[in-house]
Chains A and B, each alone.
Chain A
Amino acid sequence: MAVETQSTTEDLTDLPPEIVATLQAEPPHPDLELVERAKAGDTSAFEQLVRQYERQIFRTAQHITQNREDAEDITQDVFFKAFQKLDQFQGNSKFSTWLVRIAVNESLMRLRKRKTSKTVSMDQDVQTDEGSIPRDFAEWRPNPEQNYSQSELAEILRKTIAGLPPGFRTVFTLRDIENLSTEETAEALGLSVPAVKSRLLRARLQLRERLSRYFRKTKEGSK
């Protein structure tokens, strides 16, 4: 097997660079075929894409808006808009990143509608220094989440992330919960990579600080 690999590599060195680049390029993402079929009018292909990403889009919308009904409406709107604008998707980014970008815009728009007197944007409250410097240095219990029931823990996690400014909450959701790369997060949010890194650091530190109230070791060793 090792010999075969070596001979393939040697063969490639004899080929023109543009051919080598084509051969070494990553295979196209499977979504692209579904998108092309959907563009050609195959609604079952689009339904497959909805099936794949509805959970991610719903959770992203719910994390940003903190409202279940809004998240349901936004999920529908995101996929309907994506369907109508499929021709604008050129495949320069992942289809999922493109969808997330629509979801973030729709979610922020929903927040703006809810708070008519206040502007809501990715930049809201991010200039504050709150939480950028750790203050709590208490150690946590091992597996601290196991001291709470599933519903108690879910409530703690919801309450804690809800307290972050939307700009931090969104970056943490995409990067750490939905597992987008830093570059994909930057693309989805229209931010620079350094801006994503800076917001991610502060989001993580603020969440850590807030969760520490629940998870820190106590002298008695109890909840």
Chain B
Amino acid sequence: MEFAWTPEHRAFRQRLRDVLAANLPDNWPVVSNGYDNGSDASVAFSRKFCPILAEEGLLIPHWPKENGGGGLDAFHHWILGEEMWGVGEPRAYQYMSINWVGPAIIKFGTPEQQAEHLPRICGGTISYCQGFSEPGAGSDLAALRTRAEPTGDGRYIVNGQKIWTSAASFADACILLARTGAERHAGISMFIVPMDLPGITVRVIPGMQGERAMHEVFFDDVEVGPECLLGTENGGWKVATEVLANERIGVPRYALTWRGFNKALEHLRLDGRLENAAIRARAARCEAALKAARLAALGVINARIHHRPADVSVNVARYAAVWADRQVVEFLGDFAGDLLFYDVDAVVTAAYKRATSIGIGAGAAEVQLNLVSRNLLQMPRGNA
């Protein structure tokens, strides 16, 4: 076991910091509307910034070279995530392309799909949204009802509604789960659908997590061609499982929480509050939880590097991250309520705001516990 970064990892982090320092607008926490990666300013900046990262070889350092990546190990991917998420994600929602949409296309896409999508992902010029959740299918994702009716000549007619979809109003394409058969899991297919197709309507849902973080997306007789099917017809659950494994440990969410937490501690130290022994103890306990979340996530990345398939350690790590964020939110609420305003400290407030959603997005915390129970503890299934 070795718990230290190599000189290459450290140099990579430093390069990222240099590029961020050279490119992030002055007063970025405020310009980005409190690290809101759905804000106009953030999305506009991401369209300029992602091609710069691509140019510098920093956008997709960890993909295989034959797919347009840098061929570096997965810890580089994680360092990239920490540095970006920790400053409010200046890639806006393009992290999704890099973390899980692209890998799914590499694994399940046809040569034509790869030729169409991968160069745009690698160039930082395409943004996706994720059409998974529905009004009646959230944690119970396989209950989804959006239907893609085969027309018999390879095309599909899509009807249904997606909800809570992040970035839908400015994404170029949607990875869409839709029902093509009757069977619960084996009747679902995955599509990549351009968002400008006739019949797609998007409505923004104003939300606590930021601008354009949640939408409703309606599909009314949307015609999609066979080129949109990712994987096989009725084979979408496998693709979705892969996507979710990458999504659950795809974003180092603790990175922003930790930076916000540390910034709060600076305030508390400056005004003397941190001299209180009770506050100091609570702070250190938050730090232990954050560190545990980071170690658990790095353990998942470590397994990727050793070519082991994703397993229940993903769910364990995700719950550790939820736990850490909860500790920090409670700490800030208990001791630093006066800091939680954008004009007092945009970073602390952004971290506080974001942390509330960590146990909900990408599979509720309780779903993670179900999976830990089933796959790690191998508990029996029951009626209650």
Q: Please determine whether chains A and B interact with each other in the same assembly.
A: no
